A and B are shown apart, each in its own frame.
Chain A
Amino acid sequence: GAGVSQSPRYKVTKRGQDVALRCDPISGHVSLYWYRQALGQGPEFLTYFNYEAQQDKSGLPNDRFSAERPEGSISTLTIQRTEQRDSAMYRCASSASSLSEQYFGPGTRLTVT
C-alpha cells in the first residue's frame, strides 16, 4: 500500500509569508507525528496526534507554528510569518498506535529567503 506522503516536497517562500505543509498518513494509522530537522542534526519533535486530538505540542517552537488533523487523517502544519530560521526539513511520520513503529514520509524541504 501507499506510504506516508507529504506535499509539497520543496517549498521556497519569502520571509513573512505563511506556509502550510501537508501530511497524508498511512490509511488507518492512529498516530501522526511532525518533526523538524535542521542540517546536520537529527529529527526534532514538534507535535503529535492520536486520531484528531493533538496529544502533545510541546515541541512547537513558538506560537507561529500550529498543526491540525481535523478528521483524524490528513494533517497540516502551518507556519505563520516565516523567518529564515524556519528553514529546515519537515518530516511527518505515522504509526498504527503510539507504541508501534513509525513510518516516515519523504519530508518537505522549506527554504525561507
Chain B
Amino acid sequence: AQRVTQPEKLLSVFKGAPVELKCNYSYSGSPELFWYVQYSRQRLQLLLRHISRESIKGFTADLNKGETSFHLKKPFAQEEDSAMYYCAARGGGSYIPTFGRGTSLIVHP
C-alpha cells in the first residue's frame, strides 16, 4: 500500500538550532515528493517539491531512494518557522497525493 510516514508528531527546538523533519514513504515506482506547510491561521500551502531541487525559506529536502526518505532540513531554525509540516507523495499513475499525519514544529526564542 502507498504510505507516507512522519514519525514525529511534535518537534521542539530553540531558535538557531538545526531542524530535521523526518518523512519516509512506501510507494511503487518513483513517486513525486512534496512538503506542505500550514502556519497558524493560514491555509495549507506547498513549501517545496523534490523535482524542483530548490531551497525555500532556508529549507531543503533530499530524496534518498535507498532509504525511501525525504527529510526536510534547515540549518538554523527561526521562530517564524513554527508551523505544521506535512510530507506528501504522488505516483503510481495517480494524480492524487498521499499525505503524512504531519509534524508540529515549535521554535522557541
Contact = CB atoms under 8 A, between A and B. Distances in A.
B44 interface: yes
B96 A104 contact: no
A56 to B, nearest CB: 7
A23 to B, nearest CB: 12
Interface residues of A, number: 25
Contacts of B94: 56
A64 to B, nearest CB: 21
Interface in B21-71: 43-46, 49
Interface residues of B, number: 19
Interface centre among A43, A56, A91 (most CB of B within 10 A): A43
A43 B99 contact: yes
A33 B45 contact: no
B95 A104 contact: no
29 contacts: A3-B43, A31-B95, A40-B101, A40-B102, A41-B101, A41-B102, A42-B4, A42-B6, A42-B88, A42-B99, A42-B100, A42-B102, A43-B44, A43-B99, A44-B99, A45-B97, A48-B95, A91-B44, A93-B44, A98-B95, A99-B95, A101-B46, A101-B49, A102-B97, A103-B45, A104-B43, A104-B44, A104-B45, A105-B43
Given A31-B95, A42-B6, A42-B86, 17 more contacts: A33-B96, A41-B101, A42-B4, A42-B88, A42-B99, A42-B100, A42-B101, A44-B99, A45-B98, A48-B96, A56-B94, A93-B44, A101-B46, A104-B43, A105-B43, A106-B43, A107-B43
Interface of A: 3-4, 31, 33, 40-45, 48, 55-56, 59, 91, 93, 98-99, 101-107
